[in-house]
Structure 1
């Protein structure tokens, strides 16, 4: 009955899911069992089918059958099981459906030579047999499933764990490797028909699916423009004048596999915490390298990183820093860095020259704790008084260096006693400076010329030293407004070489301030003057503080006070509200392909403005003398490049007719006559002219000997007859 249903209904149903549902329905209503499908072909080590119908008292039998050579039939199903190399298993997938699965209990590895292990494939065609699965009830077969198994052995390399890779020769000099797809050493690569490790049986498996093109070792034929390809009988008109005589090694695939080395893949990132490797101490210190203690550990000082204070931050050689860390003290500290002993601070540090230096500690007791302590919300009762002795308030290190080593280290350890009835906010200061002798090690802005984006180095004469020729480094700054943008809270940022910038801050001004214009002008002048305290600017990026020729004077333009304007009760004139820094630079040469620039002149000027209150809208500040308005105080810097060679002045023709100027237009008509004009600079003009004339001669000869003149001669000869 199931066969009749299969023929009548499933042949007309296009969707397999609908056919399976129909089988389940009919098998359930007629109380029969049936396999779906009834015939399978497998090329892998596992195969499965569905058994549909009433599953009560159903047993499975498996045997190997041999189809008839004449009719191809396999006979009636049998409920007697036989021993096979397949392991059957069942899985209930519904009330009236069971998944029957067969799995090959044998390794598909190809047997080696003289191997005695039976769990392998003696031939590449490992399994070729027909199986019959019968569903029986009480020894009577109800339905059967026929499976045709045709499985080939897996071609696995014998040394798969070694991951040996074939190194392709350097393709700079060889057009192609002998077999670019031969990627595994001493093993056959699938679809690589030029692999010498593949046997004849292996090639039969994929001989019709070989890798095409140069990757499969198949070099394309020689192109038509090769002189050796064309024959005298079938040659184009331009042959042999324009054919190429080149050896076959010079083909388009030269360098396609440039190095030929394989790059092993690296594991991807993990969400686990990385394991930090042990620091590797250096023999000598270079700028930026970490400093090590005598036991090969990082020498650390608390620093601020990414907005947070880190207690064990490494110190870099020749890198100065100054940080502050804020801590809320609910009780007295018990450990480092707020409570440190002399033994913890007096440690030995490698000097970078094969020896070591001891940190010399100088203890200072702070009597005024106001710069370090501020009050917080009371979280303790007034009866509980907190007294903390010898709390670290500041750690100031001085590293003295010479060459690539450290000569000595001095630490100023500032401590104090904190007494409070509530919690306090402690601000601790940490700093490190590197001194070369007595001079602080400063970071240069170039070597020797300035580099774009590095700070402009300024300086002022050191009047405290007897040596009047010493220049102490400083910087010229611009406004850096933060939070509310007021000048009282604004910070300063250094001027960076080659980067034009404009910034400013806001100053509160009331009507009462405008009645004292002289004081207001002095206030704004002092604010602007605080940005530039230097009198010199370094010409190069690595100036010598003892050589005055390395520095240039800053020119300050005197404010113009000769105006006839007068102050009124609600306005003030001559306010230096804008400061402009003008820097001229010059390209002096190239060092290792990097342009070197020097500063030649610096000028600081001010723009004067008149400040008056805006009396319109809301509560007028003109009525309330305490009400304030915001007035901008700005600063700017401009860099100008001095041209190296201006050249002769342009003619009136070059100025007016720019379409014929090759230097000012994308289209240059004179360049169309290459190489006969002097605009061609690839080689000498005489050689370019001679080669151009020879090329013209070849074209004229080719055109005369080509098809047009041949036809003309044929017509002429026919007319002459």
Structure 2
């Protein structure tokens, strides 16, 4: 029985790991060997992992390790072979992937009193150890996999009872039973926590995975009309006058009208682990679905997966991306993706309508490699000259689509020749853009209102077509050396305040030309956008979906005269203020709308730091910062005019701030009462007042008053 439970847990863990690994195994990294995953825990006798990368010369070494008591680490990987009770096997899964499987070479039966074979478990906790699998090239470890194994012995009940049957009584007169999942006589049923045949050791194995609901012996949750469910704190207004007192055994599953029959028990439940099949071509592409080639393979382009560049990442329909991958070249590349041929790139791709399209490849030769070679490092060898021809520097794909199909694919392959006496760090670029006609397929930033973390949509008015060309508002994204000449820009994300900048080198010869310096900085900070979208899904042809951007112009009168070695009024800081308002809820998500966007500039004074010496003795070039920031401001919802001082201080008749609420004394006849029409409640209230006055006149108090009155008159 415990073997069944262990199989269940092992299947659950293995199934989860397999889902992740089969996705990761679609891609392999360049010039590296990694285990996926690099750490595993197992409660069963079999473990499966994957080794990705160049595995042609890699050997696998297995050993048992012990974590350090002080640090908890197991030390560096080793290529020394040790004897263990595990059997290690490897199976190639492709050109650059190997499936690794470890299986325990021991019987998990608990040892008996007179058992001397030694091939059994002396304790309930049979295996508790840490294994390390090392991928070695020669005697040098390249990667390692740690496995924490915690395996219990199998528990066999004294009475198997597999041939016994349970007779279910007639359901017309009684429920299924106090423990419906108890299907086998005198045997503990897996995951049936109400089975009286299960010992405490058995329940510890699956107590967190008990069968739920009535068929697991639990009638839950109880309905709201049960008197035992409600409490004094959260009870509704009709409680306890209309609640129902009924035992929990009276549940909706009582009295299924069929004759009881015998159920043949099975030796053990079968937990089948599903396998991930090959991609199945679809008739229509939808957003996010992977693109499939004619030979039923995923169409892949190098992308970043888990922060690392991989070669075989699938391309998703209508998902644009642009990535950069860095590779240190010590020798000329010989394989994909740095060495490609047009014949290999001209793949036939299914168009989503039963046909296919061919990738149209166009070559572009790059003469200036400065944007692809970011740095150089000295060669550690003899310094041979590096000459690499036709290196693939960039792959830019354009997917043309219509409806749910692909109408064409154009690829621009940028190649170049690398000549250097040192090893170079090569930056390759890969991109995919989906075009519907000539317009790019861009995702909205909300539907309809903006969602936090999505780009703020801006636009430029096209006077010829009376439409708005969508773009984005950007702030600085410094890279490499942080200079403005090499810096890029990031899109402003809705609801996220940020500040960034770059450095502008200013020489001693440029500083006296203050007007030219101010114009240069203003051009760097200038934004060509004129409109911003109110909502996250604007229409390019509906001008009411857009707002004009407010630009705060610089006042030239505030700029004082410049002095020697200093320029005043430099617009070095750009402020972007965005005012937004929550206009409603859609399925519980707040919908935010931009009400105004303002761009302003802060002026500063730039002066060379001469250290107290003459201006002519200053350094030739100094760096000055140019910054930009974005601030989002929430507009509070108008809840009405503010309270007067009398309303704030006078609390005698305020039911929210006073224990005694006099207005509620006549609540049924006020307009605040909405249980019935006001005319009816007023009429009923007047009738009650009439009865009260009549009872007072005819009652004992009024008779005593009349007697006193007549006595005084006499």
Q: What is the CA–CA distance in structure 2 between the aligned matches of 1:332 and 1:243, rounded to whole Å?
A: 83
Deviation at 1:288, TM superposition (A): 1.6
> Is the 1:580–1:606 contact (alpha carbons within 8 Å) kept by the matching residues of 2?
yes
Report what 1:183 is aligned to.
181
1:637 paired with 2:635, answer: no
> Is the 2:580–2:632 contact (alpha carbons within 8 Å) kept by the matching residues of 1?
yes
1:377 paired with 2:360, answer: no
Higher deviation after alignment, 426-435 or 176-185: 176-185
SS at match of 2:489: strand
Report what 2:518 is aligned to.
521
Q: What is the CA–CA distance in structure 1 between the aligned matches of 2:309 and 2:218, rounded to whole Å?
A: 61
Deviation at 1:538, TM superposition (A): 1.8
> Is the 1:156–1:187 contact (alpha carbons within 8 Å) kept by the matching residues of 2?
no
Report what 1:328 is aligned to.
328
CA-based RMSD of the aligned residues comes to 5.3
> Is the 1:327–1:426 contact (alpha carbons within 8 Å) kept by the matching residues of 2?
yes
Report what 1:606 is aligned to.
601
Deviation at 1:405, TM superposition (A): 1.2
Which stretches in structure 1 are left out of the alignment for 5+ residues?
Answer: 1-86, 92-152, 200-213, 220-224, 227-241, 259-263, 698-721
Q: What is the CA–CA distance in structure 1 between the aligned matches of 2:471 and 2:552, rounded to whole Å?
A: 21
Do the aligned partners of residues 639 and 372 (structure 1) sit closer, same or farther apart at CA in structure 2, a change above 3 Å counting? Answer: closer
> Is the 1:394–1:414 contact (alpha carbons within 8 Å) kept by the matching residues of 2?
yes
> Is the 2:219–2:249 contact (alpha carbons within 8 Å) kept by the matching residues of 1?
no
Report what 1:408 is aligned to.
408
1:533 aligned to 522, 528, 531, which one?
A: 528
Do the aligned partners of residues 155 and 183 (structure 1) sit closer, same or farther apart at CA in structure 2, a change above 3 Å counting? Answer: farther
Report what 2:446 is aligned to.
446
Deviation at 1:657, TM superposition (A): 2.9
Report what 1:346 is aligned to.
346
Q: What is the CA–CA distance in structure 1 between the aligned matches of 2:680 and 2:251, rounded to whole Å?
A: 31
1:158 paired with 2:162, answer: yes
Q: Which structure would you say has the larger RCO, counting Cα contacts within 8 Å and 6 or more residues apart?
A: 2
Deviation at 1:689, TM superposition (A): 7.8
Render the CA deviation track for 1:560-610: whole Å, top value 9, x for unaligned.
122273333354432323322223334444444433333333221223344
Report what 1:625 is aligned to.
618
SS at match of 2:339: coil
Do the aligned partners of residues 90 and 423 (structure 1) sit closer, same or farther apart at CA in structure 2, a change above 3 Å counting? Answer: closer
Do the aligned partners of residues 682 and 406 (structure 1) sit closer, same or farther apart at CA in structure 2, a change above 3 Å counting? Answer: farther
Deviation at 1:471, TM superposition (A): 3.0
Report what 1:297 is aligned to.
297
Deviation at 1:681, TM superposition (A): 7.7
Report what 1:434 is aligned to.
434
Deviation at 1:640, TM superposition (A): 4.0
> Is the 1:660–1:669 contact (alpha carbons within 8 Å) kept by the matching residues of 2?
no
> Is the 1:380–1:421 contact (alpha carbons within 8 Å) kept by the matching residues of 2?
no
Do the aligned partners of residues 538 and 385 (structure 1) sit closer, same or farther apart at CA in structure 2, a change above 3 Å counting? Answer: same
Report what 1:496 is aligned to.
493
> Is the 2:182–2:195 contact (alpha carbons within 8 Å) kept by the matching residues of 1?
no
Count of equivalent residues = 484
Higher deviation after alignment, 644-653 or 332-341: 644-653
Q: What is the CA–CA distance in structure 1 between the aligned matches of 2:270 and 2:335, rounded to whole Å?
A: 42
Q: TM-score, normalised by structure 2?
A: 0.55
Deviation at 1:301, TM superposition (A): 0.8
Instruction: Output aligned runs, 1:138-153, within 5 Å.
Output: none
Deviation at 1:336, TM superposition (A): 1.7
Do the aligned partners of residues 403 and 88 (structure 1) sit closer, same or farther apart at CA in structure 2, a change above 3 Å counting? Answer: closer
Instruction: Output aligned runs, 1:203-242, within 5 Å.
Output: none
Do the aligned partners of residues 157 and 537 (structure 1) sit closer, same or farther apart at CA in structure 2, a change above 3 Å counting? Answer: farther
Report what 2:645 is aligned to.
652
Report what 2:359 is aligned to.
359
> Is the 2:188–2:195 contact (alpha carbons within 8 Å) kept by the matching residues of 1?
no
Deviation at 1:297, TM superposition (A): 1.0
SS at match of 1:314: coil
> Is the 1:182–1:189 contact (alpha carbons within 8 Å) kept by the matching residues of 2?
no
Q: What is the CA–CA distance in structure 2 between the aligned matches of 1:357 and 1:512, rounded to whole Å?
A: 58
Q: What is the CA–CA distance in structure 2 between the aligned matches of 1:683 and 1:460, rounded to whole Å?
A: 56
Q: TM-score, normalised by structure 1?
A: 0.55
Do the aligned partners of residues 312 and 688 (structure 1) sit closer, same or farther apart at CA in structure 2, a change above 3 Å counting? Answer: farther
Which stretches in structure 2 are left out of the alignment for 5+ residues?
Answer: 1-111, 117-156, 198-213, 221-225, 228-238, 255-267, 690-714
Q: What is the CA–CA distance in structure 1 between the aligned matches of 2:219 and 2:340, rounded to whole Å?
A: 75
SS at match of 2:558: coil
Q: What is the CA–CA distance in structure 2 between the aligned matches of 1:244 and 1:376, rounded to whole Å?
A: 84
